[in-house]
Amino acid sequence: RRVLFRSPLAGLREAAHRGGGAVNDAFLAGVTGGLRRYHEKHGVAVGDLHLTMPVSLRTDADPMGGNRITLMRFDVPAGIADPAERIAEIHRRASAVRRERSLPFTQAIAAGLNLAPRWYIGSILRNVDFVASDVPGLPVPIDLGGAKVQMQYAFGPTIGAAVNVTLLTYVGTCALGINVDTAAIPDYDVFHDALVAGFDEVLALAEAPTERTPP
C-alpha cells in the first residue's frame, strides 16, 4: 500500500540545525519518531531499529551521469523520545558509518552477493526493519507537456523490510512517498497518522507544522 504526505524543507532544515544534525538526520528522526509511536499504539516498546539507506559515493573526480551509490545499514535510536536528542544521536551514528573504510568497496561485495542463493539474500534482508531514502529534487518549478508540475513523489521498494520511506524535494517542499508491506503493517492508516505525528514533533523544533495530504 502506498501513502504520502508533505513537509516543509525549511522547517526540516531548521529542526536539523537545532538538533545539531543535517536534513537527512531530521528526516530519519521523523521516520523513527513515527515508528516509535506506531509501536506504542500497539503496546510495544521499541529501542533501536535496523535501517538500510542508500548513500552517495560520488566524488568530484567522477563523470556526470549514472549512479554512484551504495547501501549503508545501521541501527537508529527510535526509542529516544526527545526529537533534538534523536537527531543528534542519528547524526553521530550516521557519521560513523559514513567514515567506515569499507564503504567504497560495498559495490564489489554486492556483485559477489549476486552469485549467492536467493534464500541467503532474503535471510539478510529480513533483518532490516525499514528502508529510507533522501533524494534531492528540483529547486525550481517545472512544466511537463505544458502542464505545471505541482509536486513529485518517489516510492522505493521495501526489499524485505516493513516499509520504505522516500523523501524527494521539490521547490522547498519535502514530498514523502511511503511504500508499506501490508503483511507487516496492516493498519496503514494508523501508521500514516503515527508517521505524520513523528514529523510534527521534529518540525515543532522549528515551529513548522506538517502539511497533511490524504492517503
Residue carrying C-alpha cell 513523528: 198
Looking from the CA of 149 toward its CB, the CA atoms found within 13 Å total: 16
Rounded to the nearest integer, the mean pLDDT of the chain is: 83
- pLDDT for res 24: 93
- pLDDT for res 7: 87
pLDDT tens-digit profile of 26-62? 999 999 999 999 999 999 999 999 998 876 655 566 5
Rounded Cα gap, residues 81 and 34, in angstroms: 11
With 50 as the cut, is the pLDDT of residue 113 above it? no
- pLDDT for res 63: 61
With 70 as the cut, is the pLDDT of residue 215 above it? no
Q: Which of 70-79, 80-89, 154-163 has the highest mean pLDDT?
A: 80-89
Mean pLDDT within 103-123: 52
Q: Give the residue from 94, 90, 87 showing the smallest Cα distance to 73.
A: 94
Rounded Cα gap, residues 205 and 14, in angstroms: 8
With beta carbons less than 8 A apart as the criterion, state whether 205 and 84 touch.
yes
